[in-house]
Structure 1
Amino acid sequence: MKNELQLSDWLPTTNKEVKIRGWEALDVILFSGDAYVDHPTFGPAVIGRMLESFGLRVAIVPQPNVNDNLQDFVKLGAPKMFFGVTGGCMDPMISNYNANKKRRDKDAYTPNGDIGFRPDYATTVYTNILKEKWPNTPVLIGGIEASLRRVTHYDFWSDKLMPSILETSKADMLVYGMGEQPLREVVRLLEKGVPFNSINTVLQTAVLLNKDEKIPKNSNWEDIEISSHEVCLKDKKKYASNFKVIEQESNKLAARRIFQKIGDKTLMINPPYPTMTEAEIDASFDYPYTRLPHPKYNKRGPIPAFEMIKFSINIHRGCFGGCSFCTISAHQGKFIASRSQESILKEVDTVANMPDFKGYLSDIGGPSANMYQMKGKVQSICDKCISPSCISPVICSNLDTSHKPLTELYQAVDNHPKVKKSFIGSGIRHDMLVPEFNKNADPKELDAYTEEVMTKHVSGRLKVAPEHTSDPVLKLMRKPSFKYFHKFKERFDKINIKKGLKLQLIPYFISNHPACEVEDMANLAAETKDMGFQLEQVQGFTPTPMTVATVIYYSGYHPYTLKKVNTPITKKEKDEQHRFFFWYKDENKAWIKKTLNKLGREDLLSVLLPEKTEKWRKNKPTGDAKNTFNDAVPFNQRTAEDKVRFNGKKRHKKKRRSS
């Protein structure tokens, strides 16, 4: 395939490549914080190919150098329509830093994983340079960094409340969410002759109006004003209350237009587009991608993010989970946009015929692997819904959770003569496979899907994300009770034995999430140890813009109740919670013993470190059986009294530290 491709098969990145195409001028120039990979999983490539399909002359400047004479920002001149800017497929601050604000030593979206090619706050940095160099050319920003920073937001890395990125970047327009639909309309209006600065009523866009600009009228929209940026700086509760409006309006199919004052300017966020139709999302995967990194990187080494998805297939967008710590639904929406089976199989055939394909597809998935083709049974009910999640606290009775289309899709993919095996690398919502939780579905259908995945689409390990064991923490996370993980594990073990498999179940967990106490982490460690797990896939909570958990982390208030929520803030608090994941390490044992003794939780100590509790065992009080704790009994067989004691219902109370 590489030998058949010409340099002109990629979008041009240099003047030489522009000339190869015979162009004298460009209509749109895209700037990206990622290396240029011409693949439908990479947003800049999708947008570039879509604009190209309109007949526009499009170029892309990937990872421009901001530390030299800024030649990358002027080498292609000014486009006729606009500059498009994105920080990349991930928020640049997540790409550059870990949860402890330490610099990462690898950037997955750069050749060889090299660091230093993407500045912090890339969208703002790139846009400010472009506005300085080309003050008369409009700049349109998009991608996840811009999308999640479209209103007043808390920035974890600077520990500040920041205004809309439109204010800091000086951009002319912001596209939030997935960009195909709004960009199509922006281009249509520009080609019609409408000046860029007059385009301010396109759905799923935001603009910053000067004090002398009139508010555009639209009789089809209702309006709502949220607390100003200046009010948010003074009042954390007002900042928190803003988020409820923003999240609910982002998820509604008939949303209101949002206004927010920033100084003497007015931020105007237009309602989102309806969910993409099957034909629209199919079209995004049908552009003439080379599916390869640009040849300019051939000598620099592989791009880790590309290597990960090179032989994978994305089958849908969106996620109706609405997890409090996750940004997927905030960016892609809570309603699922699924590709047709025909479109997916067409891409499978393309991948299967790549010269280096060995017969193994690394992933058939999406934001959540098992939400394909799921939607409301009665659309009019969804039209009025304002819930941020379709499955929390319970699965909506209007949600069709059938896994049959997905099972049939897997089987159709595996019927391709060149596919030896297709894996499911995306996260699976295990709770939706538990009949006791997913009461909408046929239990036999759920078992059929689970068995299909376990027997044909897993290589040794199945990864799922219960995230925590504490019900109060899980409730705030918008995740189901941990009892459903127990139920899933029972089914997993049953199929493992039935089919003679030796698969491992690998659970993901988060520490120092809002509402989580040290005692909750001790419970987590004890309960997962009791289940036979020695945890590997763990992480500390990282506050990212546009999530419920981040709003709580900064403000101390839950945006939906405006009640106080305790949150680990200091490094010491976070480190202490995280240490419980690694109870089995020698360097943590003395600290764990001291901490649990201080909390009066010798019961947990006897589970985690039985060798450290011999003295306590010999001298533990005798008396009423319900006040003692038998750690030899498996957790799921313990008495109700034991479980109450084990789970620490009398939670340790602390005053929340000021942020």
Structure 2
Amino acid sequence: MRKKSRFLPATRKEMDALGWERPDVILVTGDSYIDAPAIGAAVVGRVLDRAGFKVAIIAQPDTESDRDITRLGEPALFWGVSGGSLDSMVANYTASGKKRKRCDYTPGGDNTRRPDRAVIAYTNLIRRHFKGSTTPIVLGGIEASLRRVPHYDAWQKRIRGSILFDAKADYLLYGMGERSVVELAEALAKGTSPDAIYGLCRKSDEPVEGYLELPSLVEVKKDKDAFSRMFLAFKANADAFTAKGLVQKHDTRYLVQNPPQPPLTAEELDSVNELPYTRELHPLCHSQGEVRAMETIRFSIASHRGCYGECNFCAIALHQGRTVTSRSEASILRETVNLTHLPGFKGNILDAGGPTGNMYGFECEKKLKKGACKDKRCLYPRVCPSLKPDHSRLLSLLKKMQEVPGIKKVFSASGIRPDLILADKKKGDRYLKEVVAHHTSGQLKIAPEHTSEAVLALMGKPTTELARFRKRFQELTTEAGKPQFLTYYFMAAHPGCGQSEMDELAQFCREVLHTRPEQAQIFTPTPSTLSTLMYVTEKDPETGKPIFVEKEKEAKERQKGALHGAKGGQGQKGKEKHHKKRDSKAPSAGRKPQKKRPSGRKGGRSSS
């Protein structure tokens, strides 16, 4: 039986019970306080706590009063400010600009607690109620991480400068941050300079010798080509093994970005996930209502971190890294045993995976020694031979998790990549068979995103044989005797995608997949993605050639509507008949399509 854990304090009463006069660090977050390894503030708090620092948490403070922000006093070392698990603007608004009514990370579910541009709002809140304070404010989390350099803000439709300057904060820690936050706390406790810490951004009156200077903020605001050069240099220096430090002029001062921290080792990732999380919602938050995200977070396990998929519209590779670190089997099994002792556990692990479910257990040996390649990707335009996909470790892990006493089912809900399965000639089919038979709760998620080869090229996604994968899934589902189906995630209005490409996709869904996809989204130009760069410049960054970019709201909705309006077939859950493959229409967007492989129709593949 695992030892009962305690929450990090969130109230003055809890601090008094610990005998604290003041905490060393106060973390302010846009999420409710869920004490679980899937929540950034909880992880950072636990890591600092293990290092011997007194850490407290203020979750979703009221920005209109001092009621929440002042209740714990002022920290001795620093304030840590995060927008939460999501960029606050993505959390608050749909791709069409409508206000989201619901929030899975807020008690009661009403989306009223996370302010727009939460990182800036919380920093201003601290400054307002602790006037004259010299305690540093440190930004972190995905909102700060992806806005650390000048970026396009889709909601204001303009280039904004680094959030470090906009928020008037002292430091910014980018990426996952477990190492850098401890190094920062230790430096501040000792009174030494934290300026050289990897994974840290700061302000400077002068550029740093040896650092690569990016085009200035003034330049990137007025010149799209300068913005493109800046972003491509920024992206090229995101790998821990090869990155240079970056510097960029912001008016009269400079943004300094130190090189990134190396990815955690497997042992380090094990230790982070095995810290004494309660896996509960803090009572202060719980008194305000239930939090929907708890339904999945509490009984799920992260098996790995990072993503080498590098889809152009996704920022996971930039935030978590291109290197996948897999936890040890022993650590995951210990966590599995611990879950069986939690109140309310009914025997089901709701998800065992990571950004993508089947990246566990293998990585490119060259990358691990020398870093990610600068001139090619792991999975695009096809799976690199150096990666050598191998599902053996994942098969072993799932089998052993399933055998833990008290476990009924271990589900793979993260979504899987068909291209990795098809590329693994030895174990790929066996893995899919096991997932279909034992680890799918009625539906298996894949994210082809599109079927137009030109659009997929601009997405940075290979053209996987979607029809072939679907056929094999159906065969294995029939063998298993289960009424299961594939859930397809598609995207409308990505740069390079016009109405004709969406009509083609709708026809493919109708004639080949026999379905009307329920999971479709309009592309949102989020900060620091290559797709957002295309959206701003209306150019293919690889070739420099112009591409079509849909920017009219109504037209974007029509693109999505074409997919949702597709009719025919018997639906995803019905029986699907075999349908002959058809040749696709010639794509009209962006790059020239790649030559078709002889094996027939190719769709997309899943991603995180």
Deviations 1:270-321 (A, max 9, x none): 1111111011111111211111010123333211111122111111111000
Matched, 1:104 2:67: no
Sequence identity percentage: 38
Q: Do 1:131 and 1:137's aligned partners in 2 also have CA atoms closer than 8 Å?
A: no
Distance (Å, rounded) in 1 between the aligned partners of 2:233 and 2:195: 21
Q: Residues 251-282 of structure 1: CA distance to partner in whole angstroms, max 9, x if unpaired? A: 35121111111111111111111111011111
Pairwise mapping of residues 184-583 of structure 1 onto structure 2 (< 5 A)? 184-194=182-192, 198-210=193-205, 214-216=206-208, 222-379=210-367, 382-383=370-371, 385-387=373-375, 389-434=377-422, 438=423, 441=424, 443-482=425-464, 484-531=465-512, 532-583=514-565
CA drift of 1:387 comes to 4.9
**Mapping of 1:20-99 within 5 angstroms?**
20-68=17-65, 70-99=66-95
Structure with the higher fraction of residues in helix conformation: 1
Partner AA of 1:535 in structure 2:
P
Shift in alpha-carbon separation, 1:651–1:179, aligned structure 2, 3 A: closer
Distance 1:123 1:355, change over 3 A: same
The Cα shift of 1:248 comes to: 1.6
CA–CA separation in structure 1 for the residues paired with 2:184 and 2:240: 22
**Matched residues in 2 for 1:518 and 1:241: separation?**
30
SS in 2 for 1:60: strand
- Give, as a single letter, the amino acid of the residue that structure 1 aligns with 2:485: Q
TM-score (norm 2): 0.92
Distance of aligned partners of 1:420 and 1:400 in 2 relative to their CA distance in 1, 3 Å threshold: same
CA distance in 2: counterparts of 1:5 and 1:265, whole angstroms: 49
Instruction: Give the direction of change, closer, same or farther, for the CA distance of 1:205–1:558 in structure 2 (3 Å limit).
Output: farther
Q: Which has the larger radius of gyration?
A: 1
| Residues 1:427 and 1:650: Cα distance change in structure 2 (over 3 Å) | closer
Q: 1:60 to 1:299 in 2, by over 3 A?
A: closer
Matches within 5 A, 1:622-633: none
Q: Secondary structure at the match of 1:113?
A: coil
Q: Which has the higher contact order (CA 8 A, sep 6+)?
A: 2
Provide the secondary structure at the position in 1 that maps to 2:203: strand
Q: Provide the secondary structure at the position in 1 that maps to 2:371.
A: helix
Q: Give the superposition deviation at 1:45.
A: 0.5
For residues 521-555 of structure 1, give each alpha carbon's deviation from its aligned partner in whole angstroms, at most 9, with x where no partner exists.
11100011111122111111111101111111122
Give the superposition deviation at 1:355.
2.3
Structure 1 unaligned spans of 5+: 586-606, 609-631, 654-659
Give, in whole Å, the separation in 2 of the partners of 1:388 and 1:371. Answer: 19
The CA deviation at 1:411 is 0.3
Q: For 2:368 and 2:442, locate their aligned partners in 1 and report how far apart those are by CA, in whole Å.
A: 43
The farther-off stretch of 559-568 and 353-362 is 559-568
TM-score (norm 1): 0.85
Of stretches 576-585 and 354-363 in structure 1, the one that deviates more from structure 2 is 576-585
Question: Aligned AA for 1:20?
Answer: A
Number of residue pairs aligned between Structure 1 and Structure 2: 581
User: For the Cα contact (< 8 Å) 2:454–2:590, is it kept in 1?
Assistant: no
Partner of 1:124: 120
What is the RMSD of the two structures over their aligned residues, measured on CA atoms?
A: 2.2
Return the alpha-carbon distance in structure 2 between the equivalents of residues 64 and 216 of structure 1: 37
Matched to 1:31, the amino acid is V
**In structure 2, C-alpha distance between the alignment counterparts of 1:514 and 1:156, rounded to whole Å:** 14
Once the two structures are TM-superposed, the CA of residue 561 in structure 1 deviates from its matched residue by 3.2
Which 5+ residue runs of structure 2 have no aligned equivalent? 570-576, 592-608
- How many Å apart are 1:385 and its aligned residue? 1.8
Task: Say if 1:216 and 1:410 are closer, same or farther in 2 by CA, change over 3 A.
Answer: same
- Cα distance in 1, alignment partners of residues 579 and 183 from structure 2: 60
Is structure 2 residue 140 aligned with structure 1 residue 142?
yes
Q: Distance in 1 between matches of 2:178 and 2:23?
A: 20
Deviation of 1:498 after TM superposition, in Å, equals: 3.3
Query: 1:482-511 CA deviation, whole Å, 9 max, x = no partner?
Result: 5x1122112212222333333212211000
- AA at the equivalent of 1:40: P
Query: Does the residue aligned with 1:304 lie in a helix, a strand or coil?
Result: coil
